[in-house]
């Protein structure tokens, strides 16, 4: 055990420093996400989902850094990596729309052009409904929209970034209008 520690002292110290930095960045990132969610009045479930995405990305980056610190030679793990990347490549290609919806969900979270409770109109020639839509929920892959007649419409997040959307008013404004009528 002492031989391992003495021969790998630099790698152990570097790994410890990198892990502490990882924990610090993770803490700051999650705190920032919560702050953005609080400022934008976002749903707690949506906030946790984006937090999971950030933790996953940071953890993958940590593993890559640790591999470099410990001096794992690429030629030693090239067969493993090529197999893993082949499987991931097939999965990514097959699930491209799911990944684009998840990415769009994260972009919508941070840009927050609209939130749950807002009324919007989507300008899409393929969408049969052109009236007001209430945003009921924003999920990882899609949005739940309620029509004025009470029908539930599920709309993919990636299409929300590709279509023209008019923000009409929030649910709060809508209830205030009803109260004054």
Model confidence over 107-153: pLDDT tens digits? Answer: 877 776 778 888 999 888 888 888 899 999 888 788 899 998 999 99
Give the model's pLDDT for residue 77: 67
User: What's the mean per-residue pLDDT of the chain?
Assistant: 82
Of 117 and 92, the structure prediction assigns the larger pLDDT to 117
Neighbours of 143 (CB within 10 A): 25
Q: Is the dihedral of CA 99, 103, 109, 113 positive or negative?
A: negative
Q: Say if residue 6 is in the same domain as residue 53.
A: yes
Give the model's pLDDT for residue 95: 65
The mean per-residue pLDDT over the stretch 49-69 comes to: 89
Q: How far is CA 132 from the centre of its chain?
A: 27
Q: How many domains does the chain have?
A: 2
- Among the residue ranges 55-59, 64-68, 159-163, 167-171, the one predicted with the least confidence is 167-171
Q: Is residue 4's pLDDT more than 90?
A: no
Query: Which CATH number do you get for residue 62?
Result: 1.10.287
**Which residue reads 């996400």 in tokens?**
33
* Rounded Cα gap, residues 154 and 166, in angstroms: 17
Final residue in a domain of this structure, among 49, 76, 106: 106
**Which residue reads 């991931």 in tokens?**
88
Q: Say if residue 117 is in the same domain as residue 100.
A: no
Q: Say if residue 36 is in the same domain as residue 54.
A: yes
Final residue in a domain of this structure, among 85, 106, 127: 106
């Amino acid at each position: 055990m002492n031989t391992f520690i003495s021969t790998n002292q630099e790698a152990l110290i570097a790994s410890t420093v990198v892990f502490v930095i990882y924990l610090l960045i993770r803490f700051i990132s999650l705190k920032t996400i919560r702050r953005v969610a609080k400022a934008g009045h976002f749903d707690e479930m949506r906030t946790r989902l984006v937090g999971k995405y950030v933790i996953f990305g940071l953890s993958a980056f940590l593993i890559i850094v640790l591999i470099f610190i410990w001096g794992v030679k690429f030629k030693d793990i090239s067969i493993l990596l090529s197999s893993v990347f082949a499987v991931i490549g097939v999965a990514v290609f097959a699930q491209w729309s799911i990944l684009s919806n998840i990415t769009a969900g994260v972009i919508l979270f941070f840009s927050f052009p609209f939130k749950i409770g807002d009324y919007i109109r989507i300008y899409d020639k393929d969408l049969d409904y052109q009236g007001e839509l209430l945003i009921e929920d924003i999920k990882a892959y899609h949005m739940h929209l309620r029509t004025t007649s009470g029908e539930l419409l599920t709309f993919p997040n990636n299409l929300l970034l590709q279509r023209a959307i008019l923000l009409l008013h929030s649910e709060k404004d809508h209830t205030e209008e009803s109260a004054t009528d």
